Amino acid sequence: MTTLERTRVDNTSARGEAPCIAACPINQDARDYVQLIARGRFEEAFRLVRSKNTFPASCGRICTRRCEDACRRSAVDEPIAIAWLKRFLSDKDFSPSLENRKARYQEKVAIVGAGPAGLTAANDLSLLGYKCVIFEELLEPGGMLRTGVPRYRLPGHSLDSDISDILRLGVELRTGVKLGLDITVDTLFEEDFKAVFIGIGAHKSLRLDVPGEDLAGVIPAVEFLRKISLGKTINLGKKVVVIGGGDTALDSARTALRVGAKEVTIVYRRSVEEMPCEKVGRLEAEEEGVRFKFLTSPVELLGNDGVKVVKCIKMELGEPDQSGRRRPIPVTGSEFVMDVDNVIMAIGQLPELSSLNDSGLSVTSKNVIGVEEETLATNRPGVFAGGDAVKVGGTLIEAIAHGRRAAVAIHGYLRGKGFDASKGPTPMTDISSRRIGLIKRELRKKVPILSAGIRVRDFSEVELGYSDQLAMMEARRCLNCGAGAEVDPELCAACLTCVRVCPYDVPELNRVEKKAKIGVDCQSCGICVVECPARAITLKDRYEDRGMDGLKKAVEEFSGPEFGPRVVVFLCLYDSQSEVVVSRLGRTRSNIKTVQVSCIGKLDSTLMLKAFEEGADGVVVAGCLPGECPYQTGHAWAKKRFDYVAGILSDMGLEAERFQWLSPSPTEQFFKEMEQMTEELKKLGPVFKRSR
Amino acid sequence: MIVAKPKSLEYIKKRIKNHKKIAVVGCGGCVTVRPVGGEKQVAELASVLRIWAKKEGLNLEIEEDTALRQCEPEFIDELSDKMKGCDAAISLACGVGAQCLAERYSDVKVSPGVDAVFMGATIEPGLYWERCVGCGDCIIGETGGYCPVSRCAKSLLNGPCGGSQGGKCEVDPNTPCVWEQIYKRSEESGDRDAIDKFVPPKDWSIRPSRLTLEHVRVKTEGRAT
């Protein structure tokens, strides 16, 4: 097909935020930290995560991952494992660069409840310059993360590291202080706190209201999980029934197995499709031997000396209710009984609002503290509230978002400024269906997990986490949505080169401005950036990795007049052997400098020449293996440019041995070829006489 | 648009060998679009020449610059900073641009770095075909939109010749016979003028080498300075 015959379909817009970022309640920079991981820049990635997210280790493990649900890669194969990557970073034990800082303002802020919302508010208020004191009823901070999430999902040391990074900002934590007993909102104001944030969570189990609920052996899930988490013992019998279908029900069932129950059954009144819990957790529970009884509801608990029998009734699904899920309706005459030793009630939680009696705070019809949606301000001036205390069933990331918002609102309140309720960013459009087939399929890298038989023995963490290599490979699957190529219309000569070279057919002619325009479906392969004759295209990505900085650094390291010979190796960052080659050459060869490029297809011909200009005696371009290129065509473009430059160099009388195209794998072969090249260069001598 | 091809490095080296400071000057027009003389090619050539000069031990300073269009005095003027002190320059523009550069900087020895070969179109990236010779008397209205002057090896006005073989030109089997294309188009459109009418030989004397468009011309003569 010739250019003149080619017709184009409308392209996507160039606007909109990456969906992973837009979907996150705190707009965590998921794309950017994933891109940093892809480049092996782990510490920077962690810093970026921590700049918005106070609980990286916890979020990396138990977040509900709206980012992954929104990931555009799903249309190609599977979403990027964003949470696993965040967890990978948290496992590295980098400390955030944030240090203990002196309060800038005189006003002190009291925070009630050391859960994720309260701790986040304290973190952000400290950074804004306020002295914060957190009052916590339990002896350890963490809230539901500490008492409600079992250790096999969130190990204590991971939670501790998140919290200690917050406390080291100068936040004061007072534990064993009970709201309503030791302190009240009034006493806090009397103690000279100028604002109060209430993040007391939802630690009261809902009742099912069936006969027999108060029998011995019937345990509310919140209490059960709290006791186990805090190291207390609960003697469970052999047979345990858990009532409910959410994550708390799953956590209770799996915890019951780990503390000695032999037969654990989850009883849920709707079907598996309606279960509000995480699918992965349900599958893991199944593997561990948890049984499920769907479309079943308890009607009565029976027993003389403690619960012995659960009388249930079968349900069928009727019309959808307010929540959009189909309403379960009892099937007449379908009653049956189950023998049990314990029943764990996991049907929901509410905040313990009795502790706020006489505080003058309004309570909504849903039995949570009433707050203004944007500012989280309660009806009482200076009192703010967030987390599960204002929205039951919230997630960790929502609690963090509340903490962040409350901090800004409290700052505004104390400084007499308003609250700028900025709307979150709008996500970009979906990837165009005609482009999906052009993107190379690459399934997500699974995180290794303990086998079911081993994991039920104790509370060891089930997911084992990524190695460096796996994390980088996973991160490189990221499509870098919204950080791709961008045309400077001032420089664009409308030559249409980009339109013609793009392997994904993304650039198009803006028919009004008569300039090229590149939409959000750009995959950041960089081919147009290099090919643009007017140099009008750049990557929006802020991580320069086309080799310019790398080469500058490499040639600076060449020193001394003695002859090495000096070699610059341009390597594809995406090649699976790239890291091996870089570290081995770095260790063993001071005369050979490596420059990594994120896809060798981004390597400009002028850079290959520049290496010689800056004093290299030999230059190697080591593209990936033909099948390995994530962009499919990067390898071919690099080879074409290599051949072109080789032609110019040969015209100039430079020996062919000085400029070589090698494959980095198999690595042994590569190192052998590098040896040979070094020998040849020794015979040839330097390109220029050494002057420095 | 003007299509050009790079001159050999051998030629360029010869032209600059005895100079101290040279400029490599690109053009943001045709040669940027059909990429042989844009900013990027300027950088490539300058880099190559620096390597060569260092290798040869020559004391040669090389400047790089690109004019928005090398055929406009205003844009050539903008090069003056980089041209200052240069005793030679390589122009990567077409012959028009290179001559304008030479005229404006008369103390600099300007040599071409590319050869303009024709006025043509992009058939696919990197493949360009001649489409116009600037004959001064366009007849494509009568020939179904095909120009036989530029696209027939013999520039026949009444084709095809006996060398048309299976729809291809005998001179180059990759080139379609334009007269066969003209015939096909005529049949399709039912306009048989091109085939039936005899076209007299072209009068090359009417082709101007200097053109005045009175309605756009701004006379500078006599204007107060």
Q: What is the CATH number of domain A205-349?
A: 3.50.50.60
User: Tokens 């979907």 correspond to what residue?
Assistant: A23
In this prediction, residue A103 carries a pLDDT of 78
Q: Please give the share of chain A, as a percent, with pLDDT higher than 70.
A: 96
A183 φ, ψ (degrees, to nearest 5): -135, 155
CA distance B167 to A350: 84
Q: Which helix (H) or strand (E) holds B200?
A: none
Mean pLDDT of A284-294: 92
- What residues of A are in contact with residue B57 (Cβ under 8 Å)? 688-689
Residue of A nearest to B43 (CA): A606
Q: Quick one: B182 and B82 in the same domain?
A: no
User: Tokens 């705190």 correspond to what residue?
Assistant: A26
Mean pLDDT of B159-183: 93
Whether residue B147 lies inside any domain: the answer is yes
In this prediction, residue B223 carries a pLDDT of 54
pLDDT tens digits along A216-257:
899 999 999 999 998 888 888 899 999 999 899 999 999 999
In this prediction, residue B225 carries a pLDDT of 45
The answer, yes or no, to whether residue A7 has pLDDT greater than 60, is no
Q: Are A625 and A577 in contact (CB under 8 A)?
A: no
Out of A534, A609, A652, closest to residue B32 by CB: A534
Which domain-ending residue is among B117, B142, B177? B117
In this prediction, residue A1 carries a pLDDT of 37
A647 near B CB under 8 A: no
- β partners of residue A134: A111, A173
Q: Which DSSP symbol is given to B14?
A: H
Q: What angle do CA A294, A300, A306 make, to 5 degrees?
A: 110
Q: Quick one: B166 and B96 in the same domain?
A: no
Q: What is the mean pLDDT of chain A?
A: 88
Whether residue B6 lies inside any domain: the answer is yes
Which one of 3.40.50, 1.10.3470, 3.40.1350, 3.40.1000 gives the CATH number of domain A548-684? 3.40.50
CA distance A263 to A229: 21
Domain boundaries, given as residue ranges, for chain A: 19-96+425-475, 108-203+350-414, 205-349, 485-539, 548-684
Q: Quick one: B89 and B25 in the same domain?
A: yes
Whether residue B41 lies inside any domain: the answer is yes
pLDDT tens digits along A58-104:
999 999 899 999 999 999 999 999 999 999 999 998 877 666 667 78
Say whether domain A485-539 belongs to CATH 2.30.30.40: no
Could you check whether A108-203+350-414 and A205-349 share the same CATH topology?
yes
B88 φ, ψ (degrees, to nearest 5): -150, 160
In this prediction, residue A5 carries a pLDDT of 39
Whether residue B215 lies inside any domain: the answer is no
Provide the pLDDT confidence category of residue A494 given band limits of 50, 70 and 90.
confident
Q: Quick one: B25 and B108 in the same domain?
A: yes
Q: Are B196 and B183 in contact (CB under 8 A)?
A: no
DSSP A134-163: EEESSSSS-THHHHTS-TTTS-HHHHHHHH
**Whole domain around residue B71: which residue ranges?**
2-117
Whether residue B143 lies inside any domain: the answer is yes
Total domain count, chain B: 2
Q: Quick one: B107 and B188 in the same domain?
A: no
Whether residue B72 lies inside any domain: the answer is yes
CA distance A183 to A180: 6
**Residue (of A60, A59, A221) closest to A148 by Cα position:** A221
Q: Which DSSP symbol is given to A245?
A: S
Strand blocks (E) in chain B: 2-6, 21-27, 61-67, 88-91, 109-112, 114-124, 127-132, 164-165, 168-169
Contact B38 A687 (CB under 8 A): no
CA distance A420 to A405: 10
Q: Quick one: B56 and B147 in the same domain?
A: no
The answer, yes or no, to whether residue A653 has pLDDT greater than 70, is yes
* Least confident span in A360-374, A397-411, A507-521, B211-225: B211-225
Mean pLDDT of B8-18: 94
Per DSSP bridges, beta strands A309-320 and A326-330 are antiparallel
The answer, yes or no, to whether residue A538 has pLDDT greater than 60, is yes
In this prediction, residue A2 carries a pLDDT of 41
Q: Are A447 and A284 in contact (CB under 8 A)?
A: no
Would you state the structure tokens that stand for residue A192, as one six-digit string?
Answer: 């000279």
Out of B28, B48, B123, closest to residue A2 by CB: B123
Whether residue B33 lies inside any domain: the answer is yes
Q: Quick one: B159 and B64 in the same domain?
A: no
Q: What angle do CA A614, B47, A643 make, to 5 degrees?
A: 100
Provide the pLDDT confidence category of residue B48 given band limits of 50, 70 and 90.
very high
In this prediction, residue A652 carries a pLDDT of 86
Provide the pLDDT confidence category of residue A3 given band limits of 50, 70 and 90.
very low
Q: Quick one: B138 and B57 in the same domain?
A: no
The answer, yes or no, to whether residue A689 has pLDDT greater than 80, is no
CATH number of residue B94's parent domain: 3.40.50.2300
Which one of 3.40.50.10190, 3.20.20.140, 3.50.50.60, 3.30.70.260 gives the CATH number of domain A108-203+350-414? 3.50.50.60
Residue of B nearest to A685 (CA): B55
Amino acid at the residue B26 = G
CA distance A105 to A437: 57
In this prediction, residue A14 carries a pLDDT of 65
Per DSSP bridges, beta strands A309-320 and A218-220 are unpaired
Let me know how long chain A is: 692
Provide the pLDDT confidence category of residue B87 given band limits of 50, 70 and 90.
very high
For residue A57, give the 3-state DSSP assignment: helix
Alpha helices in A482-526 (DSSP H): 497-501
A454: left (phi over 0), alpha (psi -120 to 50) or beta: alpha
Q: Quick one: B12 and B38 in the same domain?
A: yes
Q: Quick one: B89 and B154 in the same domain?
A: no
The answer, yes or no, to whether residue A10 has pLDDT greater than 60, is no
**Residue (of A198, A245, A170, A243) closest to A355 by Cα position:** A198
Out of A500, A534, A612, closest to residue B51 by CB: A612
Per DSSP bridges, beta strands B168-169 and B164-165 are antiparallel
In this prediction, residue B21 carries a pLDDT of 96
Would you state the structure tokens that stand for residue A362, as one six-digit string?
Answer: 């309004």
A331 near B CB under 8 A: no
Q: Are B185 and B146 in contact (CB under 8 A)?
A: yes
Q: Quick one: B61 and B142 in the same domain?
A: no
The ipTM (two decimal places) reads 0.82
Q: Are A264 and A243 in contact (CB under 8 A)?
A: no
A103 near B CB under 8 A: no
Provide the pLDDT confidence category of residue A692 given band limits of 50, 70 and 90.
very low
For residue B71, give the 3-state DSSP assignment: coil
Residue of A nearest to B50 (CA): A613
Please give the interface size between A and B, counted as residue pairs whose CB atoms are below 8 Å apart. Answer: 85
Q: Quick one: B8 and B111 in the same domain?
A: yes
Say whether domain A19-96+425-475 belongs to CATH 2.60.120: no
User: Tokens 């921590």 correspond to what residue?
Assistant: A50
